[in-house]
Amino acid sequence: MKSVMNTAPFLAVVLAVLAGATQAAPLPERSPLLLLPPANRIVGVWDFQVHIFSCDTGQTLRRFRASSVFNAGGTMLDTNNTPPTSRGPAFGVWSYDPRARQHVTEMRLYRYHPDGGFAGVNQVRRTLTLSADGDGMAGEFRGQILGPNEEVLANTCGNEVGTRSL
């Protein structure tokens, strides 16, 4: 028991030093506000019905189901029901515009050819508005389909309707 009593102050000092040395780096300047309401109401897992159409004609190009995870502090992940061999997950960031009462996301994902070769990148900017109860949202997006060297191959437009799933 005596040796435990003698090492207790030493351990307390070591733990205090380690705690100070392992503090996380400060969040980016905009992030602290993303942890507070109303910005953080987006945090969670969402399912979306997505409609992609021609920006020029409005003609439907594709419809699919997608899921997005919005993390506290402004990061996000996204995937959809496209075969996983044709695309990777999307990684991105989100912010909140209190004047417009809208969330804006920017995300990127890699695309692949059927043989597994790298096809390029999709880059998407979404503008989302939450419902009054916070369990639904709707939005519009614009994107670019980029080639392997990040050259613009096409522009995309679309809209989406989502519900909170978790």
Give the CATH number, domain containing residue 131.
2.40.128.120
Q: Could you identify the residue written with the tokens 């004047």?
A: 99
- Summarised one tens digit per residue, pLDDT across range 6-59 is 544 433 333 343 344 334 344 344 556 667 788 899 999 999 999 999 999 999
- Does residue 25 form part of some domain? no
Q: Could you identify the residue written with the tokens 């998407």?
A: 124
| Mean pLDDT value of segment 75-80 | 97
- Does residue 141 form part of some domain? yes
Residues of the chain above pLDDT 70, percent: 80
* pLDDT, position 32: 64
| Mean pLDDT value of segment 136-152 | 97
Where is average pLDDT lowest: 79-83, 103-107, 129-133, 150-154? 79-83
Where is average pLDDT lowest: 31-35, 118-122, 144-148? 31-35
- Does residue 44 form part of some domain? yes
- Does residue 40 form part of some domain? yes
* pLDDT, position 112: 96
- Does residue 14 form part of some domain? no
* pLDDT, position 37: 80
Return all residues near 34 (Cβ < 8 A) that are at least 6 apart.
40, 72, 73, 74, 94, 95, 96
Instruction: Give the chain's domain count.
Output: 1
* pLDDT, position 123: 97
Return all residues near 1 (Cβ < 8 A) that are at least 6 apart.
none
* H or E, element range at 10: helix 2-21
Residue 110: which domain range? 31-164
Q: Are strands 136-146 and 152-164 parallel, antiparallel or unpaired?
A: antiparallel
Where is average pLDDT lowest: 23-37, 98-112, 129-143? 23-37
Are the beta carbons of 95 and 34 closer than 8 angstroms?
yes
- Does residue 117 form part of some domain? yes
- Does residue 149 form part of some domain? yes
